A = this chain, B = another copy of it.
């Protein structure tokens, strides 16, 4: 992992920073921003954190998360250096309407964009949090306990707490250093995995009861009636698609959620062998190899049939 020299120089020389990350921020986005912001403040810099969307409730244990703003406000008049974290284009951060004097991009996602004067993109990094750890060390700043908690959370979320194939030697070494600096793995995992509301668990149970499996594809669905019965909303279905992965024969796990009258949002998760982005693309959606989705208007049975058919065709070519 080689940090561009110009990037280190900018962090040392500039005074005013706007750190921004993608809409619907996840643990890696939030933790990377918070840790870098704290480091820059220790260097005496002025830092504003921006995300158009609020920090989701289940990430509000992350130290400093209340510092995020959902509007740019007066920072623009100070002509800040923009740092985009965990994304690589202004649209993903809802910043496409603005222009900036200079932009740094720090990301680990695939990119087709060339946005930004300084771009540090590590496609093989498991999390942006790993990159921020190395950056903070390179700036000569000691990792504080709050930085450690934020960066450990970032890495935990993007590696499924060290369960995904992206868990390499560097990931575990950095995690060890973060625990040494004060991160508490047990407490962080409890916040991440054991803080569901009972109503959300009830919705999960109802949803798992709809399980259908055909040709290595599992589908569960959530209807509006289920939301009404349990007092839940669509955001409560986050992560539901991962549960049927537990079954040995499942190669693709699909969640279908009602978002209106005969309107459905489809999320697909692959165990890694099948590329679900190609299935999503066939329905006008998008995503990554292991996680992709699309929307469809039809009755539920038609949606399911279409998914089973499309998946069978892609699996047979894999």
- Residues on A close to B: CB < 8 A? 160-169, 172-173, 175-176, 179-180, 184-187, 189-190, 193-198, 201-202, 204-205, 208-209, 211, 213, 244-250, 271-272
Q: How far is the CB of A174 from chain B (nearest CB, A)?
A: 9
Q: A76 to nearest B CB, angstroms?
A: 39
A103 CB to closest chain B CB, in angstroms? 34
A173 to B175, CA, bound (A): 9
What copy number does this chain have within its complex? 2
Q: Which residue of B lies closest to A179 (CB)?
A: B169
Using Cβ atoms and an 8 Å threshold, which residues of chain B touch A180? 169
Q: Is the CB of A189 within 8 A of B209?
A: no
Chain B residues contacting A166 (CB-CB under 8 Å) are 186
Contact in complex: B165, A186 (CB < 8 Å): yes
Contacts of A165 in B (CB 8 A): 184-187
**If A168-B179, A179-B168, A190-B271 touch, does A201 touch B247 (CB 8 Å cutoff)?**
yes
- Chain B residues with CB below 8 A from A168, complex form: 179
Q: Are A176 and B169 in contact (CB under 8 A)?
A: yes
Q: Is the CB of B169 within 8 A of A172?
A: no
CB contacts (< 8 Å) of A247 on chain B: these are 194, 196-198, 201
3 shortest A-B CB distances, which residue pairs?
Answer: A165-B186, A172-B176, A167-B185
| CB closest residue in chain B, given A272 | B186
Alpha-carbon distance A189/B167, docked complex (angstroms): 11
Partner of A186, one of B164, B246, B248: B164
* Cα–Cα, bound, A166→B166 (Å): 23
Residue of B nearest to A209 (CB): B205
Residue among B164, B169, B173, B193 making CB contact with A189, cutoff 8 Å: B164
What's the Cα separation between A64 and B58 when bound, in Å? 42
Give me 6 other A-B pairs in contact (C-beta within 8 A), A164-B185, A172-B173, A195-B248 excluded.
A160-B189, A165-B184, A165-B187, A193-B246, A196-B247, A209-B209
A252 CB to nearest chain B CB (Å): 12
Which of B162, B179, B249 contacts A185, CB < 8 Å?
A: B162
- Nearest CB in chain B: distance from A154 CB, A: 15
B197 pairs with A201, CB closer than 8 A: no
Q: Check B163–A193 contact: CB distance below 8 A.
A: yes
Assembly CA distance A202 to B249 (angstroms): 14
Chain B nearest Cβ from A145, distance in angstroms: 14
Q: How far is the CA of A149 from the CA of B211 in the complex (A)?
A: 33
B161, B246, B271: which contacts A201 (Cβ < 8 A)? B246
Q: Of the candidates B161, B173, B209, B245, which one forms a contact with A162 in the assembled complex, judged by CB atoms under 8 Å apart?
A: B161
A185-B115 Cα distance, complex, nearest whole Å: 34
Q: A189 contacts which chain B residues (CB < 8 A)? A: 160, 162-164
Q: Which of A165, A201, A211 has the most CB of B within 10 A?
A: A201
Is B196 touching A246 in the complex (CB atoms < 8 A)? yes
Which residues does chain B contribute within 8 Å of A202, judged by CB atoms?
211
Cβ of A198 to closest chain B Cβ, rounded Å: 5
Contacts of A185 in B (CB 8 A): 162-165, 167
